[in-house]
Structure 1
Amino acid sequence: MTTVRRGTKLPARWQLLVCGLLLLSSCSQEPLTAADPHADLPVPTRASHSSFSTTHASGIEIPFRTELKVQVPAELTDVLAFYRAELGKRGWQEKPDGMMVAADRALLAFASPKGPGVLRLDRAEGETTVDLVQRNTEIAAKANVLPISGQARLIFGYLVPDVASLVINDQTIKIEGGENHPQTLDLPPGTYSYQLLVSGHLVRTDTITLAADEAWDLHGDKEPSQVY
Structure 2
Amino acid sequence: MTTVRRVMRGPARWLLPLCGLALLAGGLIAASAGGWLPHPSPQSSAALTPADPDADLPVPKQHSFFRSSTTHATGIEVPLRVGLEGRVQAQLGDVLAFYRTELAKRGWEEKSDGAVVAADHVQLAFASPKGPATLKLGRAEDETTVSLVQRNTEAAAKANFLPMPGQARLIFGYLVPDVASLTINDQTIKIAGGVNHPQTLDLPPGTYSYELIVSGYPVRTCSITVASGETWSLSLGNDDKEPDQIY
TM range (shorter): 0.7 to 0.9
TM-score, length-normalised on structure 2?
0.80
Aligned partners of 2:159 and 2:98: how far apart in 1?
33
- CA separation of 1:114/1:185 partners in 2, compared to 1, >3 Å: closer, same or farther? same
Q: Contact 1:104–1:124 at 8 Å: present in 2 too? A: no
Partner residue of 2:99 out of 61, 79, 83? 83
1:113-170 Cα shifts (integer Å, max 9, x gaps): 0000000111121111100000000000001110001100000001111111110011
What amino acid does structure 2 have at the position aligned with 1:136? N
- CA separation of 1:25/1:227 partners in 2, compared to 1, >3 Å: closer, same or farther? closer
1:28-86 Cα shifts (integer Å, max 9, x gaps): 33211111111100010011111111111012121110010011111111111100100
2:217 corresponding residue in structure 1: 201
More strand by share: 2
What amino acid does structure 1 have at the position aligned with 2:210? Y
- CA separation of 1:116/1:26 partners in 2, compared to 1, >3 Å: closer, same or farther? closer
Instruction: Between the two structures, name the one with larger relative contact order (CA 8 Å, sep ≥ 6).
Output: 2
The 5-angstrom pairing of residues 200-219 of structure 1 reads 200-219=216-235
TM-score, length-normalised on structure 1?
0.86
Partner residue of 1:50 out of 56, 66, 73? 66
Give yes or no for the alignment of 1:223 onto 2:242: yes
- CA separation of 1:196/1:143 partners in 2, compared to 1, >3 Å: closer, same or farther? same
SS in 2 for 1:140: helix
Aligned partners of 1:88 and 1:74: how far apart in 2?
20
Aligned partners of 1:26 and 1:129: how far apart in 2?
15
Q: Shift in Å at residue 201 of structure 1?
A: 2.6
Q: Shift in Å at residue 181 of structure 1?
A: 2.0
1:9 corresponding residue in structure 2: none
Partner residue of 1:121 out of 137, 143, 148? 137
SS in 1 for 2:60: coil
Unaligned runs of 5+ in 1: 1-23
Q: What number of residue pairs does the alignment pair up?
A: 205
Q: Shift in Å at residue 27 of structure 1?
A: 8.3
2:78 corresponding residue in structure 1: 62
Q: Percent identity?
A: 69
Question: Aligned-residue CA RMSD in angstroms?
Answer: 1.7
Q: Shift in Å at residue 26 of structure 1?
A: 10
The 5-angstrom pairing of residues 1-228 of structure 1 reads 28-220=44-236, 221-228=240-247
Q: Shift in Å at residue 100 of structure 1?
A: 0.3
